[in-house]
C-alpha cells in the first residue's frame, strides 16, 4: 500500500526538490559551452514545434468554418472550375495550403530537431565523461579507495548521460507548456470553469509520479553495490586475463550462478516497485480520464445548443484531446525531471569533490637538480578508518644520486612509504623533505611531475607501443626519438622491433589488430615508460617481478650504468636486485629494523642476512 508523507515530511521533501532545481542553470551553462550554435538552434526549433500544433488546429477550424459558410449559399456551378472562376474557393484553398505548410514544416522541424539534439547530446555526454575522468585523476587515493567512494564513482559514471536526458526532458516540457498555454487560452474562452476540474483531477497523477520517482531513485542507489558486483563478475567471467583460471578451475558455472542470483535480487526489487507504480498510476489515470470526458461532454452540449460553430467544436475537441495528453505528460515529465535531478546531483557531487591533499598556501618549486636528497623525519601514518599505525617514528635519508632499497615482509610499510612520498596520502606525524623543502609546500602536480615510478601492478594500456611508453610524460608523447631511446635502455626496443607495426603497433586485445605481449615484455615497456619520464626521483616497486633472471640481471646492469646519478627508491623481494642498492632498509611493522649496504647487513648477521640466505638456499 502506498503511504503518503505527513505534512512536515512533505514540506521537507519539497524544500529538497526545490534545491535540486539549482542544478539546472549549471547544466544549461555547460550545454551552452558545449556548442552555443547547436543550443540556440535546439531552442528555436523547440519553440516553433510548440506553436505548430495549435496553429494546425486553428487553421483546421478556419477551414471547417469556411466550408460551412460556403455550403449555406447557392453553388456557383457544378464543376471545380466554376468555383475557381467565382473566387469562392480562394479562401478555402489558401487555408488548406497554409495547413499543408504547417504540417510539412512540422515534419521538417522534427527531423532537424532530432539531428541537432543528437549532435548536442553526443558532445554533452563526451564532455561530462571527460570531466569525470579529470576529476577522478585529480582526487587523492583517500577519496577514491574504498567501497563507499567506489559506489559514488559508479553512480557518477552512470549519470554522465543523464545531463542531456534531463535537458531533453526540460525542453520537451517547455515545448509542451507553450502548446498547452496556447490551447488553454482557446478552451478557457469557451468553458473556463471546467479547466479547474481537469487540473484537480490530474493532481493525483502528480503525487503518484513524484512518490514513485523518489522511491525509484532510492532503490537505484541501494542497488549500486549489487550492480557493481554484477559488473565485476561479468568482467571476471569473460575477461581474457582471467580466462585460464576460469577454464582450469571450471569457474564458469559458479560465476554464472552468482550472476543469476544477483540479477534475481535486483529484478525482484525493481519488479515489486514497478507493480505498485502500475497499480497507483492506473487509479490516477482513471481520474484524469473521467475529468477529460466531463469536459468533452460539456463542449459537445454547447455545440448542440448552437453556442459554438462546427469549426469551434472541431478546434476545441482537438485541443481537448491534446490537452489531456499534455497535462498528464507535463505532470509525469516534471516528476521525471525531479528524479533525473537526483541522478545529476550524484554526478555534480562527484565533480565538486576536491582532493584531500591541500594545495600549499605558499607554493615552493621542486628543487632541480637534487643536491641533498629526500629525508623522512619522524613520519607516522595510519590508513583511514584504521587504529593501528602503518608507519610510526620513521626517519631515514635517500641521498641525491643514490639508490635506497626497502626490504621487508608484506605489510611492513614499503608501499606506504611510496604513497607518502608521492603525496597520494598525507603523513599524520612528521614531515618529508626534498632538499630541505617540505613536500607539503610543493604543489602535488609539480611534485609528481618530478617523480617517476615503475609498479609491479603497472597498467597495460591498450594503445600503440609508442604511446604505451610516451604516457610516462604525456607532454612529450610525440617525441619518437626519446621514446626509442627509453625503449633501448629498458630492453623493450628488440621486443617492439619484432612487432608487425613496430612502434605504431596496437598493444592489447581490446581493439582490432591489437597484439598481446608476455608479462616480461609488458614489464620492459613499463620500465621504458619510467626511463622516458626522466624524473629527478625514480621509484622502482618490484620492477622486474615478471622478468627472467637473465633479463633482470641485464636490465639492472644497464640501470647501474645508464642511471648513474639517479636518485632511486627500490622495493623488491629479490635480493639479487636489492644487493645493488647503495643502502638497504629492513622494515618491520612500520619501523626500521636494520640499515646498511648489502655487505654490512650480511656481516651483521641479522634479519636481512637470514632472509638473503633463505632465498639463496632455494636456488641450491
Q: What is the mean pLDDT of residues 586-615?
A: 88
Q: What is the pLDDT of residues 415-441, one digit of tens each?
A: 889 888 988 888 999 999 999 999 999
User: Mean per-residue pLDDT for 40-64?
Assistant: 88
184: which 3 cell numbers?
488553454
Contacts of 233 (CB under 8 A, 6+ apart): 255, 258, 259, 262
pLDDT for position 431: 93
Report residue 278 as a C-alpha cell: 502500475
CB 452 within 8 A of CB 537: yes
The length of the chain is 620
Q: What per-residue confidence (pLDDT) applies to 139?
A: 66
Q: Which of 92-101, 316-325, 541-550 has the highest mean pLDDT?
A: 92-101
Q: How distant is the alpha carbon of residue 583 from its chain centre? A: 45
Higher pLDDT, 355 or 61: 61
Alpha helices in 400-518 (DSSP H): 414-421, 444-449, 465-470, 480-490, 493-497
pLDDT, greater one: 278 or 241 = 278
CA distance 108 to 608: 80
| pLDDT at position 184 over 70 | yes
Whether residue 4 is predicted with pLDDT greater than 50 in this model: the reply is: no
Rounded percentage of the chain residues whose pLDDT exceeds 90: 12
Alpha carbons 133 and 583: distance in angstroms, whole number: 39
Find out whether 213 and 335 touch, Cβ atoms under 8 Å. Answer: yes
Q: Is the pLDDT of residue 557 over 90?
A: no
pLDDT of residue 517 exceeding 70, the answer is: yes
pLDDT-derived band at 178, boundaries 50, 70, 90: confident
Q: What is the pLDDT of residue 376?
A: 94
DSSP string for residues in 244-294: HHHHHTT-HHHHHHHHHHHHHHHHHHHHHHHHHHHHHHHHHHHHHHHHHHH
Ordered domains of the chain (ranges, CATH):
17-351 (1.20.1560.10), 367-450+537-620 (3.40.50.300), 460-534 (no CATH)
Give me the pLDDT at residue 74, please: 81
Nearest to 367 by CA among 482, 535, 531: 535
Q: Which residue has the cell 609491479?
A: 456
Check residue 563 and report its DSSP letter.
Answer: T
DSSP secondary structure letters along 174-208? HHHHHHHHHHHHHHHHH-HHHHHHHHHHHHHHHHH
553 pLDDT more than 70:
no
Sequence-separated contacts (24+) of 590-594 with Cβ below 8 Å = 590/389, 590/390, 590/391, 590/392, 590/394, 590/412, 590/413, 590/416, 591/391, 591/392, 591/393, 591/394, 591/413, 592/394, 592/395, 592/396, 593/408
Whole-number Å distance between alpha carbons of 38 and 35: 5
CB environment 118-141: b (16+ within 10 A), e (fewer): eebbeebbebbeebbeebbeebbb
Describe the strand order of the beta sheet including 429-434 as a list of residue ranges. Answer: 391-399, 373-381, 429-434, 437-438
Cis peptide bond N-terminal to 600, omega within 30 = no
Please give the pLDDT value at position 60.
Answer: 85
Provide CB contacts within 8 A for 82, sequence distance 6+. Answer: 75, 76
Strand 429-434 versus strand 373-381 pairing type: antiparallel
Residue ranges of E strands in 349-418: 373-381, 391-399, 403-407
Q: How many CA atoms lie within 13 A of 560 on its CB side?
A: 12
pLDDT of 195 reads: 65
Q: What is the mean pLDDT of residues 221-232?
A: 77
pLDDT above 70 (res 496): yes
3-state helix, strand, coil in the chain (%, to 5): 65, 10, 25
User: What does the alpha-carbon distance between residue 114 and residue 127 come to, in Å, rounded to a whole number?
Assistant: 20
What local confidence, expressed as pLDDT, does residue 620 receive?
A: 47
520: nearest Cα among 548, 498, 539? 548
Quick check: 380 pLDDT over 90?
A: yes
Model confidence over 298-338: pLDDT tens digits? 777 777 777 777 777 777 777 777 776 777 677 767 767 77
**pLDDT score of 430:** 93
CA dihedral 48, 54, 56, 59 (to 10 degrees): -120
Choice among 213-227, 374-388, 486-500, 529-543 with the minimum mean pLDDT = 213-227
Greater confidence, 481 or 289?
481
Residue 253: band (very low, low, confident or very high) from pLDDT cuts 50, 70, 90: confident
Rounded to an integer, what distance in angstroms lies between the CA atom of residue 37 and that of residue 230? Answer: 41
Say how far apart CA 220 and CA 295 lie, in whole Å.
39
Residues 6 or more apart whose CB falls under 8 angstroms from that of 587 comprise: 406, 407, 408, 412, 413, 414, 593
State pLDDT tens for residues 12-43. Answer: 555 555 556 667 777 778 778 888 898 899 88
Look at 443-452, 561-570, 571-580 and tell me which has the smallest mean pLDDT.
561-570
Task: In whole angstroms, give the CA distance from residue 505 to residue 485.
Answer: 17
Cα distance between residue 576 and residue 225, in whole Å: 44
Is the pLDDT at 478 greater than 90? The verdict is no
Q: Report the mean per-residue pLDDT for the chain.
A: 79
Give me the half-sphere count of Cα atoms (radius 13 Å) on the Cβ side of residue 259.
Answer: 14
pLDDT tens per residue across span 142-165 = 666 655 666 666 667 666 666 667
Q: How confident is the model at residue 2 (pLDDT cuts 50, 70, 90)?
A: very low
Rounded mean pLDDT of 257-261?
Answer: 82
Confidence of residue 559 (pLDDT cuts 50, 70, 90): low
Give the pLDDT confidence of 227-251 residue by residue, as tens digits.
Answer: 777 777 777 776 656 665 666 666 7
pLDDT confidence of residue 1: 44
Residue 140 has pLDDT above 70, yes or no: no
pLDDT at res. 245 = 66
Amino acid at each position: 500500500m502506498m503511504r503518503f508523507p505527513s505534512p512536515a515530511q512533505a514540506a521537507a521533501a519539497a524544500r529538497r526538490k526545490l534545491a535540486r532545481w539549482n542544478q539546472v542553470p549549471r547544466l544549461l551553462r555547460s550545454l551552452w559551452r558545449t556548442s552555443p550554435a547547436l543550443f540556440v538552434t535546439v531552442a528555436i526549433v523547440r519553440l516553433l514545434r510548440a506553436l505548430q500544433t495549435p496553429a494546425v488546429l486553428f487553421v483546421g477550424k478556419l477551414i471547417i468554418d469556411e466550408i460551412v459558410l460556403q455550403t449555406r449559399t447557392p453553388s456557383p456551378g457544378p464543376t471545380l472550375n466554376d468555383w475557381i472562376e467565382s473566387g469562392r474557393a480562394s479562401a478555402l484553398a489558401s487555408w488548406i495550403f497554409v495547413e499543408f505548410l504547417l504540417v510539412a514544416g512540422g515534419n521538417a522541424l522534427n527531423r532537424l530537431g532530432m539531428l541537432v539534439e543528437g549532435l548536442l547530446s553526443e558532445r554533452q555526454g563526451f564532455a561530462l565523461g571527460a570531466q569525470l575522468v579529470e576529476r577522478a585523476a585529480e582526487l587523492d587515493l583517500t577519496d577514491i579507495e574504498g567501497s563507499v567512494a567506489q559506489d559514488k564513482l559508479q553512480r557518477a559514471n552512470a549519470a554522465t548521460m543523464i545531463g542531456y536526458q534531463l535537458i531533453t526532458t526540460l525542453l520537451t516540457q517547455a515545448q509542451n507548456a507553450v502548446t498547452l498555454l496556447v490551447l488553454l487560452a482557446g478552451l478557457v474562452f469557451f468553458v473556463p470553469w471546467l479547466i479547474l476540474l481537469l487540473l484537480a483531477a490530474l493532481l493525483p497523477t502528480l503525487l503518484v509520479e513524484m512518490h514513485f520517482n523518489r522511491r525509484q531513485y532510492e532503490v537505484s542507489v541501494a542497488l549500486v553495490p549489487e550492480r557493481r558486483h554484477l559488473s565485476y563478475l561479468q568482467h571476471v567471467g569473460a575477461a581474457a586475463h582471467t580466462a585460464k583460471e576460469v577454464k582450469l578451475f571450471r569457474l564458469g558455472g559458479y560465476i554464472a550462478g552468482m550472476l543469476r542470483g544477483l540479477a534475481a535480487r535486483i529484478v525482484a526489487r525493481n519488479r515489486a516497485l514497478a507493480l505498485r507504480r502500475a497499480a497507483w498510476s492506473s487509479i490516477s489515470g482513471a481520474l484524469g480520464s473521467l475529468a477529460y470526458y466531463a469536459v468533452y461532454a460539456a463542449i459537445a452540449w454547447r455545440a448542440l445548443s448552437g453556442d459554438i460553430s462546427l469549426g469551434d467544436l472541431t478546434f476545441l475537441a482537438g485541443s481537448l484531446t491534446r490537452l489531456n495528453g499534455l497535462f498528464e505528460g507535463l505532470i509525469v515529465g516534471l516528476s521525471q525531471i525531479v528524479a533525473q535531478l537526483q541522478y545529476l546531483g550524484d554526478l555534480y557531487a562527484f565533480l565538486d569533490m576536491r582532493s584531500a591533499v591541500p594545495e600549499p598556501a605558499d607554493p615552493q618549486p621542486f628543487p632541480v637538480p637534487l643536491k641533498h636528497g629526500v629525508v623522512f623525519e619522524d613520519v607516522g601514518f595510519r590508513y583511514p578508518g584504521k587504529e593501528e599505525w602503518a608507519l610510526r617514528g620513521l626517519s631515514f635519508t635517500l641521498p641525491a644520486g643514490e639508490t635506497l632499497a626497502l626490504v621487508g615482509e608484506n605489510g611492513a610499510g614499503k608501499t606506504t612509504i611510496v604513497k607518502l612520498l608521492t603525496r597520494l596520502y598525507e603523513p599524520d606525524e612528521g614531515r618529508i623533505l626534498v632538499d630541505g623543502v617540505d613536500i607539503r609546500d610543493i604543489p602535488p602536480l609539480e611534485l609528481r611531475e618530478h617523480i617517476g615510478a615503475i609498479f609491479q601492478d603497472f597498467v597495460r594500456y591498450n594503445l600503440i607501443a609508442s604511446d604505451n611508453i610516451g604516457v610516462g610524460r604525456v607532454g612529450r608523447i610525440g617525441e619518437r626519438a626519446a621514446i626509442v631511446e627509453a625503449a633501448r635502455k629498458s630492453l623493450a626496443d628488440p621486443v617492439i622491433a619484432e612487432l608487425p607495426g613496430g612502434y605504431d603497433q596496437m598493444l592489447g586485445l581490446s581493439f582490432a589488430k591489437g597484439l598481446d605481449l608476455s608479462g616480461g615484455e609488458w614489464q620492459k615497456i613499463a620500465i621504458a615508460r619510467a626511463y622516458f619520464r626522466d624524473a629527478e626521483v625514480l621509484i622502482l616497486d618490484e620492477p622486474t617481478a615478471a622478468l627472467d633472471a637473465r633479463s633482470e640481471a641485464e636490465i639492472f646492469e644497464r640501470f647501474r650504468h645508464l642511471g648513474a646519478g639517479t636518485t632511486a627508491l627500490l622495493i623488491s623481494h629479490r635480493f639479487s636486485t636489492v644487493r645493488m642498492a647503495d643502502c638497504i632498509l629492513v622494515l618491520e611493522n612500520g619501523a626500521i629494523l636494520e640499515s646498511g649496504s648489502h655487505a654490512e647487513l650480511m656481516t651483521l648477521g641479522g634479519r636481512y642476512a637470514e632472509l638473503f640466505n633463505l632465498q639463496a638456499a632455494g636456488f641450491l
